[in-house]
Structures are given as structure tokens and as C-alpha cells.
Structure 1
């Protein structure tokens, strides 16, 4: 099964195979979404006080294994390939401009997983070192899930002459998906690299790829992109 028939939802069960996306290096950009220190650093498991905390910790272990074993190495690979070809590489990260987070969107003030206080200059809010922007590569900061809605990214992409955006990062079912939908609504062509993304669980990751594929983006693997772009 190739990328044109993989990750299909019920809606597209009978649809013809999509055309190859237009991947002209001059009008294509890579967007790395929210691969930040706060999501990759973990406490010592032995320091956790309760069994419930330890069970929850263990539940996150597959995510961390996927990030360190697959996602971060693959994003580093595509960054190196794009940089070598002079293709635009951009970054988005969650960060607030105030120390107390009063400028955050409502979703980042609600209790639970999305209750994020990440002042823009602190270590926790930075892109992980293995994927850090280089030179004059552009980073936008946001207090929204979508990298487009809460920033001037749409204008930046237009000024750069970009028509196709390749999205990678985390979380597939949250900020990646929100960004993809916003880009599609603004009539950008979007590609999501499935092995350059992760959600909290593999099931959430797979289900979200199925939901966004074909209507909002083309979902494919990094090797598929390399073949199409002859990288």
C-alpha cells in the first residue's frame, strides 16, 4: 500500500488516487511544529510519589521512544536535506510574551495537559537542540494551537512565495492538525510526513492522520517525499 492509498478515512474509500503534490523547491517550505524542550524532558521515575503518577509516566514512554528513535532523527534528516538544497525551513513554538502568561489563549489557560506557561525566553519553550533553527531561519511563537492563526505566518509564507508547506512535529492530533487545517483553509497545499510526527499515543496519531488526509493534506512518509523531490 503506497501513500496514495494509505491513511484513508471512510469518506475517501472510493476516491481516486490523488495527484502528486507540487513540490517545487522554490515554492515549498518545511514547517517544524512545537518540538520543544518542555515535551521531551522527563523527571526521574523514582522521584514520583504515587502509583498513579508512575502509571501515567509509563503511558508516555512510547511517545518518548518514538520521538527519540524516529521523529527527531527524521526531522533532522529532512532539515539537512532541505538546507543543502536552499529550501526554506521554518519553525513554530508555543511561547508567551509575558512571565505570568496573561497573553495566552483560553485553551492554554484551562486546567489539564494544555495548561501551558512557557515564557518565550525560558529553556522549556525552546526548540530542542537537535532541531534548532540555523542562521536566519524564521521562527514564529504562538499561544494558539494553529501556527497560522496566532502569528503572521500566513504573511511570511506569502512574502516568501511559498505555495506548499510540509508539516512535521507534535502533537499530530493537536497543533499539527490545527496548523494543517488553517493552511488548507488559506489554500496552501499541505503535506504531512507521518514518520516525522507523533501524538501522545500511536492510536491518536494514526486516527488523526486518517482524519486530515486527502481533505486537508497529503499524508506520506519521509522516504516518499525524498522520492518525489529526488532528494
Structure 2
């Protein structure tokens, strides 16, 4: 028996493989262990518009849409073409409160910003027409008079997050090129790799990019909560009212940042290999 034990092959040293601790397995030259480490659920109850909604913070992320200079800064693109961006800045104080609280309980913060390729090769004439209907003026990718910043160009001042909402190193940045952040982007792959099933939504414009992204999230099977005071639009009031109605009626739930803050209070992140 002693000789048999001495001849047994020792357990291989397995090396973790995966970009996310939430979705990784381990491998060696002779073995592959495909068993993922489980993350215990962390339930938190949020007061929504018509009921209490219990979410799993371990599988929740917040998507912050288009809180960037060209939309929210007075000297950005919308300001240049005469749009009053004051309403688009209203979510900033609520986001400054809610985002640190979510980071503290290990809820990923995903910044979803419009960011064109410099050559615009993935943008169709039909899309360019939306923002330049006469063929004249300043549209996607064109330089703004004065600053020369190109409208919504990726990695430019135009596409950068407004100074008041500077992202943390742990945050995730995704560029989009359509109203929906799921169209032709890596957003879905990132969320699934993180094991995310529930999405909180914030940003601008509520009735356009936020709603389109939320709808696509719902179509893909994510549970969706719109945080109403972290969301805004320059459209008429009835557009916001219709957005809140449609989200609550068809695509998920409507809540407020105060309810989310109350829900996360007292929750602590779970570390793989550790304890809560």
C-alpha cells in the first residue's frame, strides 16, 4: 500500500484562466478544471414604482449612458447647436452619491459613451443623416468651431465623461455608435463574462440612448431597473413620462437613487476565496 501511494501522481498545479474572477477556471499541462468559483447571492431590496424588487448585488451592474462632454458640457456639441444642456446635467449630483455606494459593494460601474471611429467607417449614411439632415452644419465626426474637437470621436474631449463624474480605475468603459449600446459593441460579452443578470440604468437621453439600451437589455434577458433621478432628457416632458411608463409597463422597473442607496446600505462585497 505504501509503495502504491508513493507512485501516485501528485495533484497538478492549476493556473487560473479568465479575465474576470466571476468567470474563470484553471488549467495545467495535464488538467483543465472547468468548475467556476461560486459567488453567494447578496440580496438587497429596492423600492420600485409599484412594488419592492429584490436584486442580487453579486450579479448587478449599473450602466451610465452618455454622461459626456458633447452632450452635457455647455461647450460641447449640443451646446454648440443651440440645445440647452441644463437638463442633462441634473443627474450629476445623484450619480455622485450613488456610484461610490455601488462601488463600495462591488457593483461594477459601466460607462457607455458614444465614441465614433475617427474614420466613421461603421456609420451608415442613414445614421449620419439623423444628426446632419441637410448635409450642412456640424454632425458626427465634424470639428466644432473654436475648439476643433471632433463630435463624439472616441478618446477625444468630446466623448470624454464630464469632469464632475470622473471614472475610477475599476470602472469599465465601453464605446457605442448607435442609440443602443448593445448594437455592434462588446457590452453584452463583458456583462456575461462578469456574471451580470441585473442592470441599473442611468444617463441621457432617457427617451433615446438610455431607453434603446434598456430595451435591448430586456430583449437579451437582463433584469432592468431605471433609476429615474439619475436619468434625464432634453426632449419635451411627455417623452420622459412615456419612457417611465414604458419601462415600468414593458421592460422592467422604475426606482430612484435614494431607494438604491437604502438597499445597498450594510452590504459588503464578497471576495472569491474569502468570506463576507
Instruction: Report 1 or 2 for greater relative contact order, CA contacts < 8 Å, sequence distance ≥ 6.
Output: 1
CA apart distance, 1:83:
1.5
Aligned 1:62-77 pairs, distance under 5 A? 63-64=85-86, 66-68=87-89, 70-77=90-97
The verdict on how the C-alpha distance between 1:177 and 1:106 changes in structure 2, with shifts beyond 3 A counting, is farther
Equivalent position SS for 1:21:
strand
Query: Which structure would you say has the larger Rg?
Result: 2
CA apart distance, 1:179:
0.4
| Correspondence for 1:23 among 45, 55, 67 | 55
TM (norm. structure 2) is 0.66
Is 1:164 matched with 2:195? no
Contact 1:28–1:87 (Cα < 8 Å) also in 2 = yes
Is 1:37 matched with 2:69? yes
Contact 1:23–1:229 (Cα < 8 Å) also in 2 = no
Match of 2:210 in 1: 176
After superposition, the CA RMSD in angstroms is 2.4
Contact 2:226–2:247 (Cα < 8 Å) also in 1 = no
Which range is displaced more, 124-133 or 104-113?
104-113
CA apart distance, 1:111:
4.1
Report Cα offsets for 1:74-113 as digits up to 9, x if no partner: 1121111111222111111111122x42322555301447
Contact 1:31–1:165 (Cα < 8 Å) also in 2 = yes
Match of 2:100 in 1: 80
Match of 1:116 in 2: 140
Contact 1:108–1:143 (Cα < 8 Å) also in 2 = no
TM (norm. structure 1) is 0.78
In the alignment, the residues of structure 2 paired with residue 212 and residue 145 of structure 1 have an alpha-carbon distance, to the nearest angstrom, of 16
Equivalent position SS for 2:129:
coil
In the alignment, the residues of structure 1 paired with residue 245 and residue 69 of structure 2 have an alpha-carbon distance, to the nearest angstrom, of 28
Match of 1:9 in 2: none
Contact 2:102–2:264 (Cα < 8 Å) also in 1 = no
Stretches of structure 2 lacking an aligned partner (at least 5 in a row): 1-46, 134-138, 142-151, 267-276
Which range is displaced more, 203-212 or 167-176?
203-212
Match of 1:209 in 2: 244
Which range is displaced more, 121-130 or 177-186?
121-130
Contact 1:28–1:166 (Cα < 8 Å) also in 2 = yes
Match of 2:123 in 1: 104
In the alignment, the residues of structure 1 paired with residue 124 and residue 167 of structure 2 have an alpha-carbon distance, to the nearest angstrom, of 25
The verdict on how the C-alpha distance between 1:107 and 1:204 changes in structure 2, with shifts beyond 3 A counting, is farther
Equivalenced residues, count:
201
